[in-house]
Structure 1
Amino acid sequence: MSQSCCTELTVLCNDELERPLFAEHGFSLLIEKPGEPATLFDTASTDLFIKNAKLLGKDLSKVENVVISHGHYDHAGGLKHLSAFAKNFKVFVREEIFLPKYSDERFAGVEWSTVRDLFDFVTVTERVVQISSSVYLFGPVEMKNDFEEPDSHFYILKDGRKVRDFFDEELNLVIDEEDGIILITGCAHRGIVNIVEEALQIFDKKIKLLLGGFHLYKAPPEKIEKVVEKLSSYKIDRILPYHCTGQLASERISALNR
């Protein structure tokens, strides 16, 4: 759990969490701010995020907006379990999220047909969209550098054939506050450095907190060092790596907070 000004961020699911919380491969984050609707960012793989919310005393029925960063099961798989609240949540996605997703030959997406009629899906079409007073979504970011691109083992099924997945549906979230922005990512498949640079360009404020999955668990050490060097240059107040960041990258990135 992290607090910034009056914003409260609660990690409801991650690959590792301290007991008595449950952990699974995936990510889910609850965003609460006085005077604004609560937002749920990603839902991990199962209903585990709901169980953790109960353990933490969080009432998910108060959530109005749900944001799904991309279409992999470990971020969208738990969405169907929100139907237990019998509430028409607004679910923000990009249209490309509904394409079937694969990791090599293994299906890595979700069966969207089981959830399309359960919620109020809001399709994001603009580069930046505001969903509450201080909460914005943006993406997909441009892939500008020469060391970040999506894992080549990921594919989508498009027009009847499997093609490489460049995560055109990837959404990132920003909480815009007076003293800076909070930047939240799901997996940063299009590159955490690319995402940070675009957030700085769009909002023209310092990043006081960066958190989420950075998808560096398979990255070679030289790539991790490039990412660490770039992140260091932005002078971000605090960075909290989760989920798919990987042990080595998490250690190197967390060291920037000292």
Structure 2
Amino acid sequence: MLKQLTFLCDNTAAPHLECEWGLSVALEFDNGHLWLWDTGQTDLFLRNAAKLEITPHKADGLALSHGHYDHTGGLSALMEHGFRGDILAHPQAEVQRYSHRKTLRPIGPPVPLPRFTPVERTATPEPGMTMITDIPRQPGLFQAVRDFSLDTEGKRPDPVPDDAFLMLETRQGPLVLLGCCHSGLENSLLELQAQTGRSEVFAVVGGLHLHNAGEAEWEATAQALERFHVQKLAMGHCTGENAIQFLENRLNCECLRTYSGLRLSLP
């Protein structure tokens, strides 16, 4: 069962730590195991981890939320530090892809991914930890895939099929840990319900990719959180300041902002 989450990398940071556009989280379980969720954009997460007295290279495993550069960029540095644990990722996580927002730029992994265990649909690599990917997109529901393609011409849209999240068991109930939630929160929670039968979620933590969405999408996200009776929402990375403010004002649940150095302890 999950004992503690520590943000090693996020878009903002505690005063003594560093930040970048990226995400990396350390997961500590009550059996003593340590897992990583993403590696940020650079080796910054390792520098922060050292100050937080966490040793990512000794982790039992790493799960990748998807193959974008800001979640996989620190992987080569992690391997150079001696990481030998399991790596879990959707097969499409190693594919090169592009963003056409404002300017054309590659947003796939900056280096080829090392050996990894491919995950399609679900995997349970640790007791109390389930990785869910290949998330179906229901017609009419928000998904954050606009301006993404698999080619430089933009003729092959990229639906980000490798988008994944973790369901982590806590004593208060399921905690959903997101990467960027490109599938959209409602699609993600509906898939969680379809696969596990859970209709209530204690906490949702991570990036919601609402920074370039509008108020209609923010409201749909709020309604999804209410539908699943979420008690705690911790949001950061790609959520966006305006969306964060909207959700803080709109929701009655506890709302937190994530940052490098944030620890969430689960009693």
Instruction: Report Cα offsets for 1:31-85 as digits up to 9, x if no partner.
Output: 0012152110011100000011111111223311101111111011111110232
Instruction: Give me the whole-angstrom Cα distance separating, in 2, the residues matched to 1:90 and 1:65.
Output: 4
Q: Output aligned runs, 1:1-258, within 5 Å.
A: 7-104=3-100, 105-113=104-112, 115-116=113-114, 120-125=115-120, 127-157=121-151, 163-205=156-198, 206-255=200-249, 256=251, 257-258=253-254
Partner SS for 2:116: strand
Instruction: Report if aligned partners of 1:241, 1:254 keep a CA contact under 8 Å in 2.
Output: no
| SS of equivalent to 1:216 | coil
Contact 1:239 1:254 in 2 (8 A): no
Distance 1:36 1:157 in 2: 43
Count of residues in Structure 1 that have an aligned counterpart in Structure 2? 248
Are residues 235 and 145 of structure 1, via their aligned partners in 2, closer, same or farther at CA, if it must alter by over 3 Å? farther
SS of the aligned residue for 1:184 comes to: strand
Q: Return the offset for 1:199.
A: 1.5
- Cα separation, partners in 2 of 1:17 and 1:181, compared to 1, 3 Å: same
- Cα offsets for 1:137-188 (capped at 9, x unmatched): 0112111151412332111249x98511101111211112454111111000
Amino acid at match of 1:25: W
- Which one-letter code corresponds to 2:156 in the other structure? V
Counterpart Cα distance in 1 of 2:95 and 2:2: 37
Give, in whole Å, the separation in 1 of the partners of 2:56 and 2:95: 28
Seen in structure 2, the aligned counterparts of structure 1 residues 246 and 32 have a Cα distance that, compared at 3 Å, is same
CA distance in 1 between counterparts of 2:96 and 2:57 reads 29
Runs (5+) with no aligned partner, structure 2: 255-267
- Counterpart-to-counterpart distance in 2, 1:228 and 1:251: 12
- 1:254 maps to a residue whose letter is E
Query: 1-side partners of 2:92 and 2:130: how far apart?
Result: 19
* Whole-angstrom distance in 2 between the partners of 1:6 and 1:186: 17
Secondary structure at the counterpart of residue 202 of structure 2 = strand
Is the Cα contact below 8 Å between 2:176 and 2:205 reproduced in 1? yes
Q: Do the aligned residues in 2 keep the contact of 1:200 with 1:207 (CA within 8 Å)?
A: no
- Gaps spanning 5+ residues in structure 1: where? none
Rounded to whole Å, the distance in 1 between the matches of 2:170 and 2:235 is 21
Instruction: Report if aligned partners of 2:211, 2:239 keep a CA contact under 8 Å in 1.
Output: yes
TM-score (norm 2): 0.86
Q: Deviations over 1:94-122 (max 9, x none)?
A: 11112111111211112443x42xxx411
**Separation of aligned partners in 2, 1:236 and 1:14:** 22
Distance 2:131 2:224 in 1: 23
Q: 2:2 touches 2:27 (CA, 8 Å); kept in 1?
A: no
Structure 1: how far apart are the matches of 2:76 and 2:36? 14
* 3-state SS of 2:230 partner: coil
Runs of 4+ in 1 over 4 A off after TM superposition: none
CA shift in 2, pair 1:163/1:141, >3 Å: same
SS at match of 2:238: helix
Q: Which has the higher contact order (CA 8 A, sep 6+)?
A: 2
